[in-house]
Amino acid sequence: MTEYQARPGLFIAGSWRYGEGRDAEDILDPRTGRGQAAVPHATDADLDEALAAAQRGFDLWRKTAPEQRAAVLQRTAAILRERADPLARLITLEEGKPFTEAKGEIAGGAAILEFHAGEAMRIYGRVLPRPAGRRSMVLHQPVGPVAAFCAWNFPVLNVVRKLSPAIASGCSIIIKPSEEVAGCASEVIRCFEEAGVPGDVVQCVFGVPDAVSRKLLASPVTRKLSFTGSVPVGKHLMKLAADTMMRTTMELGGHGPVLVFDDCDLEKTLDTLVAHKFRNAGQVCVSPTRFHVQRGIYDRFAAGFAERTRHVVVGDGLDPATQMGPLANPRRPGAIEAMVADATRAGARLLAGGGRMEGTGFFFQPTVLADVPLSARVMNEEPFGPLALLTPFDDFDDAVAEANRLPFGLAAYCFTENGRRQNMLADALESGMIAINDVRVSAPDAPFGGVRDSGHGSEDGPEGIAAHMITKAVHIA
Ligand code: NAD
């Protein structure tokens, strides 16, 4: 009996569409590399219907009471929580992360829905001071139908993060989640459907990403692009979006610097960082990547990091003992292997791991490289895998210069007990999110997003709603 229980499909104008002669692709099990289900590709006619439905959905949804939008989001959160076990299992089967980590992802998604339910009730405008008989107002209104594209690394959360602010703010949305985790995305859409979201408000399509994004972004119906994925694809999509001057929210890659100062609590810092580095096998946009450690504690940090890494249990994510699952798709092990080879050729020292694991599936060892030269590819390109890169620094200015060296600016991490230094770091780092003596950079009420090449516009927080609104000034004499 197959363990896989999902029915990946297209959700257009309130009904599900499956194969029926459409092109399709396999969803692979990263533990074995074998196909386990097929995801249908939307035809051109499907996309036209999705666009027409999104326009109708917007005309309807923008006029609803905020209470109605909030209620849908609350009910979706409740359904997600009820289904946490089967959904988490599905995440493990499609993406590879361990079951308990997948359950955390679902709890995070439910919390975002609940936050947005509250925010739907707090979309305020302003009345400007004017003489008697005159009125000037600032109104915030939903921007219109959203086209959203998201990556495979958080199969449930990424979809929820796109849908919930759109629904809270009165927009309709066409989402194209990653085909590689289409079963998870479809099951999330079913939760929204069962929670009572009107059929035309949410459309979910799959296909060849380039063809789908070109079609949706060229349509005059689409008023906003929301994308989570790599920097090169993000830049390409922004160029397409420029033709119709649509609004954009771009959540792109990073290269998380971690600055570890010699006054930190070293053992606690190591425990925290190693667990966080290998979360989702390092396939996280905010993953800590470049560990810059003050020279006086560098050797102890490197030894402690490598020792803990060697004890990370890698295996099938459905086994409760597993701490790190396989990589998500067949592209990642080869990409990581090439980066490790390039770094060691350039002079990096391999302290742990370094290669693929024997057997089937997309498994790769948790890997630590020390003294990695800045010229190595991996010090400049996002590895998106279980790879920790260690280098020493001497003083505060060196550390900040290295953290800001790359054009990315998503998440940065600092470990120091010195309060004055904490404040200086908060000012100096060019990064959308900074965690100090902590690794959490995501909370439903806090803006999540980057600067520079890591993108712009925030998700979550009141900022995530604002990104779905237009501003209108009205003057009445
Ligand atoms: P990729 O850039 O090919 O794909 C990333 C995602 O973007 C996929 O889900 C894909 O469906 C989508 N995509 C690709 N081309 C598209 C297009 N033309 N239009 C619309 N959507 C498109 O990379 P990959 O091999 O799947 O993953 C590796 C890279 O992706 C990493 O280097 C990492 O930077 C990036 N990534 C980032 C995040 C993130 O959360 N920021 C998540 C996953 C992957």
Tell me: the pLDDT tens digits for 6-19? 999 999 999 999 99
Radius of gyration of the chain (CA): 23
Q: Which atom of ligand 1 is nearest to the CA of 236?
A: 18
Number of domains in the chain: 2
Q: How far is the CA of 141 from the centre of ligand 1 (A)?
A: 31
Q: Quick check: 2 pLDDT over 70? A: no
Kindly state whether residue 460 falls inside one of the protein's structural domains: yes
For residue 175, the SS3 value is strand
Task: Tell me: pLDDT of 69 over 70.
Answer: yes
Tokens 């386990």 — which residue?
36
Residue owning the nearest CA to atom 6 of ligand 1: 151
Between the CA of 95 and the centroid of ligand 1 the distance, in Å, is: 14
Q: Which residues are catalytic?
A: 251, 285
Token couple for 438: 């902590």
Please indicate, yes or no, whether residues 213 and 345 belong to a single structural domain of this protein: no
Assigned domain for 447 exists? no
Residue 252 Cβ inside 6 Å of ligand 1? The answer reads yes
User: What local confidence, expressed as pLDDT, does residue 71 receive?
Assistant: 98
Q: How far is the CA of 76 from the centre of ligand 1 (A)?
A: 27
Does any ligand 1 atom lie closer than 6 A to the CB of residue 285?
Answer: yes
Domain co-membership, 171 together with 197: yes
In this prediction, residue 225 has a pLDDT band, given cuts at 50, 70 and 90, of: very high
Verify that 277 and 399 share a domain, yes or no.
yes
Distance of CA 378 to the CA centre of its chain: 21
Report pLDDT digits (tens) over 176-192.
999 999 999 999 999 99
Residues 120 and 264 occupy one common structural domain? no
Q: Does residue 465 lie within any of the structural domains?
A: yes
Please choose from 27, 39, 230 the residue to mutate so as to test ligand 1's pocket, defined by most ligand atoms within 8 A of CB.
230
Distance from the alpha carbon of residue 216 to the mean position of ligand 1, in angstroms: 17
Q: Which residue has the tokens 């104008």?
A: 13
**Residue 5 belongs to some domain of the structure:** no
The one-character DSSP state at 219 is S
Q: Do residues 140 and 226 both lie within one domain?
A: yes
pLDDT digits (tens, 9 = 90+) for 317-365: 999 999 999 999 999 999 999 999 999 999 999 999 999 998 899 999 9
Q: Ligand 1 in contact with 74 (CB < 6 A)?
A: no
Establish if 2 belongs to a structural domain. no
Q: Is 318 in contact with 416 (CB distance < 8 Å)? A: no
- The end-to-end CA distance of the chain, in Å, is 72
210 CB less than 6 Å from ligand 1? Answer: yes
Residue nearest to atom 40 of ligand 1 (CA): 285
Is 420 inside any structural domain?
Answer: yes
- 236 shares a domain with 151: yes
| Closest-lying ligand 1 atom to the alpha carbon of residue 383 | 32
Ligand 1 centroid to Cα of residue 397, in Å, is 34
Residues 243, 343, single domain; the answer is no
The reply to whether 85 falls in a domain is yes
Q: Whose CA is nearest to atom 44 of ligand 1?
A: 229
At 326, list the tokens. Answer: 């396989």
Q: Are 467 and 457 in contact (CB under 8 A)?
A: yes
Give me the mean pLDDT over the 151-168 stretch: 98
Give the CATH number, domain containing residue 102: 3.40.605.10
- Whether 401 and 469 share a structural domain: no
Residue 274: which of 241, 305, 239 has the closest Cα?
Answer: 305
In terms of domains, do 322 and 467 share one?
no
Specify whether 172 is located in the same domain as 234.
Answer: yes
**Closest by alpha carbon to 18, among 215, 199, 213, 204?**
204
Say yes or no: 163 and 288 in one domain.
no
**Can you tell me which residue has the tokens 């010699």?**
262
Mean pLDDT for all residues in the chain: 97
The answer to whether residues 427 and 470 belong to one domain is no
By DSSP bridging, strand 135-142 and strand 349-352 are unpaired
Pocket test for ligand 1, best of 233, 251, 331 (most atoms within 8 A of CB): 233
pLDDT given at position 1: 35
pLDDT the model gives residue 3: 84
Domain containing residue 400: 256-436
Cβ of 213 less than 6 Å from ligand 1: yes
Atom of ligand 1 nearest to the CA of 252: 41
Q: Say how many residues make up the chain.
A: 477
For the segment 155-159, the average pLDDT, to the nearest whole number, is: 98
- C-alpha span between 369 and 302 (Å, rounded): 9
pLDDT in tens, 446-475: 999 999 999 999 999 999 999 999 999 999
**Can you tell me the mean pLDDT for 407-422?**
98
Look at residue 444 and tell me if it is in a domain.
no
Distance in Å, CA 162 to ligand 1 centroid = 15
Q: Is 149 in the pocket of ligand 1 (CB under 6 A)?
A: yes
CATH number at residue 410: 3.40.309.10
Give me ligand 1 centre to Cα 232, in Å: 9
92: Cβ below 6 Å to ligand 1? no
